[in-house]
Chain A
Amino acid sequence: MSGREERNILLVGVGGQGTILTSKILSQGLVDLGYDVKMSEIHGMAQRGGSVSTQIKYGRKIYAPNIGPGEADLLVAFEKAEALRWFPWLRKGGILVLDPREIYPVPVLTGEATYPENVVESLSAVVENLRVIEAAKVANELGSPRSQNMVLLGALVSLLGLEGAAWKDLVARFVPPKARDVNLLAFERGAALAMR
């Protein structure tokens, strides 16, 4: 928390990718670390493949729950085009964690719009701190595509230097028992990727 009173984390992706579960675990870990925490999410269309975001602010005392353009210290994009959409929310000098996974929106599927090319290259030209984490790929390798979110959680905990909380216990508590082991593995892989 050196210098500034608070940190803002924005998780963005596509409905169904598990951004909300990630935020829940992250928020609880931050509470356990002794921070004041506010987390904001918008429901309603979340399961319908729309663009979704969850926002977490933590620090000594937090007032407004939501993060405006230019205010995110860390932007975690679960999908490539969503990184582009939410990039204006990143503050100057902030970190962008990007999973280059592509999910085509319906206007692209039907040919009304095109999926952008050279996204990573373009973003790396404008973002000082860009970290590409192939979380979906790692999750597929683990045989559990849905554990993409835990790979990204591992990565961001490591990037923010938040190791002090019992993250693995939290992951185990929040994910379905059947998927616990693979999600713990996913978390570890993500943490390792971010440290490289």
Chain B
Amino acid sequence: MKPVLLSGDEAVARGAFEAGCAVAAAYPGTPSTEILENLARYENVWCQWGSNEKVALEIALGASIGGARALAAMKHVGLNVAADPLLSMGYAGVNGGLVVVSADDPGCHSSQNEQDNRLYAPLAKVAMVEPSDSEECRTYIRAAFDLSEAFDTPVLFRMTTRVCHSKSLVVPGVPRDPAMKPYVRNTGKFALLPTVARVRHRLVEEKLLALEEYANTSPLNRIEWGASREVGIITSGIAYQHAREVFGDGASYLKLGLTFPLPSKLIRTFARSVSRLYVIEEGEPYLETKVRLLGFDCIGKELVPLCGELDAGILRAAFLPQPSPAGQKEDAPALPVAPPRPPVLCAGCPHRGFYAALGRRKKSVVGVGDIGCYGLGVNPPLEGFDYSICMGSSFSSAIGFSRALAQRGDARKVFAILGDSTFFHSGIPGLVDAVHLGANVCCCILDNRITAMTGHQETPGTARDLMGNEVVPVDVVALVKATGLPEERIRVVDPLDLAATGAAMDEAIAAQGPFVIVSRRPCVLLKDVAKSFEGQWCEVDQELCRQCRQCLKIGCPAIASKEGRIVIDDPVLCTGCGLCMQVCPFGAIRKGGSAR
């Protein structure tokens, strides 16, 4: 077939399809989201979003036990949520091949940390495979399914942002027949009671020895001898590409694709054959630790940064220092500084209305945030919450936080904020405890009907699933009511109605104990919603405007102070949501007319 340009995520989907993967599940998370979105387009693969990563992996592991080849995909922090099934599945092994994709985010392009999930493989005692470009994504995922069945182990398929989101040429292969394995009841393998688990643990250790033996000869691990054996580089994943770019054909490489268990014999052979040994890897000194354990001295993390994303420039500066090529003419004057451009809530975003109302009650409220678009509400000028740690932590942590505030005599009400997708993901248990324990917390669900931050993936509240089938939309408010919280402590508001949203907040502040506000309006970027706003805008009447700048405090990218006037002058941006009209004390903003 003709080579095509595919991203790593697209190539994983292609490879999984070719490998006969029959069931796949994921929770959306950058940079992994596009794997399931693309896999869902192939015939004969049942693809669905799980409400969180643990659910997604458990869907996949159930399918594996039932005899299907199955895949689960998630971002690196999602694997923390799914760690429980992963670690026990390591003991149980598989029936149909089981591949767990972890997409790590070195550099925190869109994440709260840059954890290196290679460290999960030894902890979970599962095989690990790492691709370095799109074609390897396709071929290695096929290899990972084969490996999973051959060695009776789940395979951790570890990618990083630059592998997931870089496009390179892929030659599509012929799909394998998605043959199902027979299912036979086997409690000695899959019913992990203590008596079984103890036996399985010994078996896993034996299996890992066999896997390591195989890793020494696997085609996924290869030596590329260069023109000289002076410098030898041990590397894996995207770091291989950076190393090749910098050291070229002059150096020799041990390029590792099967990175747990690591191939001791192969590493020894390579290390003994070169004069100077470099270990070049992004993130933790995972390979380096093994090389040192095998008794070889090497240069690794003393030159290659532990923090942040790696690139060829960083390696060049570290290993081949020379004056950096300046882009400027000689004796060039200094340039003006570019102003910061942080990501913002879109013009017309319903979350802005919620934060605008909350901002007017700052003296009596402390906000606690979570992971999603509404997380952008922490930035000025909204400054809607004080902290945000990990997905689903706002409701639960607010229970403890409110307790600590009360203990120190701080009377402010804690408003815990999360979105509908996050509510289904891991917010529900926090709500259950807040209600059950009578916590003095207002739990706010910013329900925009979709997983917006990652690009509009369906949630359990959506009437359609990933494959386009009509499904039952799970009702957020009904779930809240089911906790037993009295109806007078539950409010559903339209966040673009500032007065109504504010009134609900005042009730929550006045009430002692748990309260729930569901702030409900669909994401403005949803196609049908965007269409309903088409041709709408707001405009500023310069005669009435007194330059009080209240409208600028809602942080809308469509409204600006330019040349001494407040203006809405972008023909595309403004949706006419009317929030600025509601905050203007002088009635100087109105809906646009045909004059424009």
Contacts and interface: CB of A to CB of B under 8 A. Distances in A.
Interface in A36-68: 36-45, 47-51, 62-66, 68
13 contacts: A38-B168, A39-B5, A44-B30, A48-B346, A48-B373, A48-B376, A49-B341, A50-B342, A81-B338, A110-B380, A110-B555, A113-B339, A127-B329
Interface stretch (A117-125, A158-166, A167-175, A180-188): A117-125
A165 to B, nearest CB: 14
Contact of B337 (A43, A82, A116, A123): A116
Given A69-B324, A84-B335, A126-B332, A50 B162 contact: no
Contacts, number: 195
Given A44-B109, A91-B325, A110-B552, A116 B341 contact: no
Nearest to B4: A31
B545 interface: no
Contact of A70 (B110, B326, B346, B376): B326
B207 interface: no
Contact of B335 (A42, A109, A122): A122
B195 interface: no
Given A31-B169, A43-B110, A49-B557, A106 B162 contact: no
B245 interface: yes
Interface residues of B, number: 65
Q: Which of A37, A44, A140 gathers the greatest number of chain B CB atoms within 10 Å?
A: A44
Contacts of A112: 380
Contact of A66 (B162, B337, B555): B162
B585 interface: no
B412 interface: no
B26 interface: no
Given A38-B166, A38-B167, A40-B165, 6 more contacts: A37-B167, A64-B311, A85-B338, A87-B335, A92-B326, A126-B335
Contacts of B5: 27-28, 31, 37, 39
Interface of B: 3, 5, 30-31, 33, 109-110, 133, 161-162, 165-169, 238, 241-242, 244-245, 311-314, 324-329, 332-333, 335-346, 373, 376, 379-381, 453-455, 525, 549, 552-553, 555-557, 559-562, 571-572
Contacts of A154: none
Nearest to B373: A48
A111 interface: yes
B474 to A, nearest CB: 26
Contacts of B238: 64-65
A42 to B, nearest CB: 5
Interface residues of A, number: 65
A71 B109 contact: no
Given A39-B5, A68-B312, A68-B314, A81 B373 contact: no
